[in-house]
């Protein structure tokens, strides 16, 4: 039976993180929306004050003698990410202890690599000018120099979240373009390594507290041991295993961001409507509700569905179960729900919802990215359809 009661430690953690979101993130939310690319100094102060070094995903949980779960690191992570994103999703992404690359490290790194890179704020660079949704089309190369036993990386990466402020970047590159997906591997490149340069910062619609960078790699040499996963190129097996394992872990995180920002918008809207005299009775039949009441309740229900789907996807990771289908379902649902909810809230709030007086317009802008990065809504639908129908990539493109 699925039990979605959070463990006491998860609930306790949520309260702490909620205090951080409310006390530190939310008060500076508008400032960093206005001051795009500024370093969010408050976050660095918090990390130092609280002694936070890592904000781990965790690899799963061991059951006790009765078969009950004793910890739930992945459920706890999505619960916390929802809270932080409720405070501000852009600031959450800029939190200098955990980037998307950290999930790649958690998912596929060896013990030694986890010890070396686990405490570094790490971005993830897959997308290129000619490769977005089709990750297998990447052209960045990694070649081994047998004399020095170093990898030499060459290529261009774009739209790298935290590519500027992070301490390291997980870079996806091919060992041999003619071998397709099987030859695509990921490499940890520490900032300051000669040959890695940030060439551009994007100006964006939303999540403006989070930097989004273009990165060029020119004869960038990194130690042999910085490759994540095996350097072998399997002849027949599908490659990109590390990338896909990363997505299985990061997609629930993005879904949690979507739910957090949408919940912020919905709670705010409800408060304002209640101040206008609206009430939200849950015990009357549907036909007795007016449009505003019905719309608000439908949105609440949609977010609850998204949250439960997401807790299921994260919970499967805690049980060390493969969750590709469930992670894509959760992300597809949450990204879409958040986009619709935040837009509808602006509508229900009237002109002030559209004004910069309130944060509702910002939440609407912030939410859109959750339906884009880590695989767009359309790509999630493809993954879901392939999984359910048992179709290969070539059969369903
Ligand atoms: C703010 C921001 C932050 C980002 N952060 C990162 C990051 O940290 N690391 C990183 O590597 N990338 C990052 N990205 C890139 C992001 O992951 C890609 O933009 C996304 O995967 C889509 O790729 P694309 O932009 O090339 O669009 P395309 O692949 O060109 O897609 C364009 C449109 O076509 C649709 N489409 C594409 N293929 C299909 C298909 N087969 N069937 C149906 N529809 C399809 C897509 O859904 C989309 O709507 C970021 C992007 C943004 C905007």
Q: Residue 174's CB: how many other CB atoms inside 10 A?
A: 24
Model pLDDT, residue 56? 54
% residues pLDDT > 70 (the chain) = 93
User: Which of the residue ranges 65-69, 77-81, 154-158 would you say has the lowest mean pLDDT?
Assistant: 65-69
Reply yes or no on whether the pLDDT at 54 is more than 60.
no
The predicted-structure confidence for 208-226, as pLDDT tens digits, reads as follows 999 999 999 999 999 999 9
> Does residue 363 register a pLDDT over 80?
yes
Over residues 350-362, the mean pLDDT reads 97
Question: What integer best gives the mean pLDDT of the chain?
Answer: 91
Q: Is 138 in the pocket of ligand 1 (CB under 6 A)?
A: no
Decide: 249 in ligand 1 pocket, CB within 6 A. Answer: no
Catalytic residues: 374
How far apart are the C-alpha atoms of 140 and 143, rounded to whole Å?
Answer: 10
- CA-nearest residue, atom 17 of ligand 1: 373
Residue 120 tokens read as 């570094």
Give the pLDDT score at 27: 96
Tell me if 397 CB under 6 Å of ligand 1. yes
From CA 289, how far away is CA 146, in angstroms rounded?
72
Q: What residues contact 113, with CB distance under 8 A and at least 6 apart? A: 105, 188, 225, 226, 228
Secondary element (H or E) of residue 316: helix 291-318
Nearest to 253 by CA among 169, 367, 331: 331
From the alpha carbon of 207, which atom of ligand 1 is closest? Answer: 1
Beta-ladder partners of 170: 124, 188
Rounded to whole angstroms, how far apart are CA atoms 173 and 252? 24
Classify burial at 227, counting beta carbons within 10 Å of its beta carbon; exposed 0-12, middle 13-18, buried 19 or more. buried
CB atoms within 10 A of CB 370: 30
What would the pLDDT profile of 287-323 be if each residue is shown by its tens digit? 999 999 999 999 999 999 999 999 999 999 999 899 9
Pocket test residue of 102, 132, 257, 386 for ligand 1, highest count of atoms within 8 A of CB: 132
How far apart, in whole angstroms, are the C-alpha atoms of residue 16 and residue 68? 25
Specify the length of the chain in residues.
397
Which H or E element spans position 259? helix 241-275
Q: Is 76 in the pocket of ligand 1 (CB under 6 A)?
A: no
H helices, E strands: number in the chain:
12, 8
Strand 150-161 with 212-223, pairing: antiparallel
Strand-pairing partners, residue 201, are 213
239 in Cβ contact with 182 (< 8 Å): yes
Confidence band for 244, pLDDT divided at 50, 70 and 90: low
Tokens 């009950």 — which residue? 68
Distance 143 CA to ligand 1 centre (A): 27
| Pocket of ligand 1 contains residue 372 by CB under 6 Å | yes
Helices 100-108 and 241-275, packing angle to 10 deg: 140
Q: Which two tokens stand for residue 84?
A: 């932080």
Q: What pTM was computed for the model? A: 0.93
Q: 360 or 136: which carries more pLDDT confidence?
A: 360
Half-sphere exposure for 138 (CA within 13 Å, toward CB): 32
Helix (H) or strand (E) holding 123: strand 122-125
> Quick one: what percent of the chain has pLDDT higher than 90?
77
What does the alpha-carbon distance between residue 302 and residue 313 come to, in Å, rounded to a whole number?
17
Q: Closest Cα partner for 118 from 74, 49, 59?
A: 59
Whether the predicted pLDDT of 342 surpasses 60:
yes
Between CA 77 and CA 230 the distance in angstroms is 27
- Asked whether the predicted pLDDT for residue 19 surpasses 90, the reply is yes
Burial zone of 280 (CB within 10 Å; 0-12 exposed, 13-18 middle, 19+ buried): middle
Q: Higher confidence at residue 240 or residue 65?
A: 65
pLDDT at 242: 58
How far from each other are the two terminal CA atoms of the chain, in whole angstroms? Answer: 35
Question: Is 273:296 a contact under the CB 8 Å cutoff?
Answer: yes
């Amino acid at each position: 039976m699925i039990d979605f009661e959070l463990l006491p430690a998860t609930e306790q953690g949520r309260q702490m993180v909620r205090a951080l979101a409310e006390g530190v993130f939310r008060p500076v939310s508008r400032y960093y929306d206005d001051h795009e690319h500024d370093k969010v100094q408050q976050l660095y102060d918090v990390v130092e004050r609280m002694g936070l070094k890592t904000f781990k995903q965790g690899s799963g949980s061991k059951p006790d003698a009765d078969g009950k779960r004793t910890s739930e690191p992945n459920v706890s992570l999505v619960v916390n990410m929802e809270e932080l994103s409720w405070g501000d999703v852009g600031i959450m992404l800029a939190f200098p202890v955990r980037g998307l690359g950290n999930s790649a490290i958690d998912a596929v790194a060896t013990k030694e690599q986890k010890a070396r890179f686990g405490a570094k704020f790490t971005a993830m660079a897959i997308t290129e000018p000619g490769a977005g949704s089709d990750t297998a089309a990447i052209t960045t190369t990694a070649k081994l120099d047998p004399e020095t036993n170093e990898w030499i990386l060459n290529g261009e990466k774009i739209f790298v979240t935290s590519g500027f402020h992070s301490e390291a970047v997980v870079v996806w590159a091919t060992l041999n373009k003619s071998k397709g997906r099987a030859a695509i591997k990921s490499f940890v490149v520490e900032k300051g390594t000669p040959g890695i340069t940030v060439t551009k910062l994007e100006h964006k619609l939303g999540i403006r507290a989070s930097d989004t960078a273009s990165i060029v790699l020119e004869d960038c040499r990194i130690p042999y041991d910085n490759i994540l996963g095996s350097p072998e190129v399997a002849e027949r097996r599908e490659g990109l295993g590390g990338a896909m394992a990363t997505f299985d872990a990061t997609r629930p995180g993005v879904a949690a961001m979507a739910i957090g920002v949408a919940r912020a918008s919905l709670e705010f809207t409800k408060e304002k409507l209640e101040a206008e005299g609206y009430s939200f009775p849950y015990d009357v039949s549907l036909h007795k509700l007016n449009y505003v009441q019905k719309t608000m309740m439908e949105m609440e229900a949609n977010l609850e569905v998204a949250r439960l789907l997401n807790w299921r996807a994260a919970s499967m990771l805690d049980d060390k179960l493969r969750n590709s289908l469930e992670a894509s379902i959760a992300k597809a649902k949450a990204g879409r729900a958040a986009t619709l909810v935040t837009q509808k809230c602006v509508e229900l709030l009237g002109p002030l919802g559209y004004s910069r007086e309130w944060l509702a317009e910002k939440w609407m802008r912030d939410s859109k990215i959750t339906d884009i990065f880590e695989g767009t809504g359309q790509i999630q639908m493809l993954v879901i359809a392939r999984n359910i129908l048992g179709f290969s990539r070539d059969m369903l493109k």
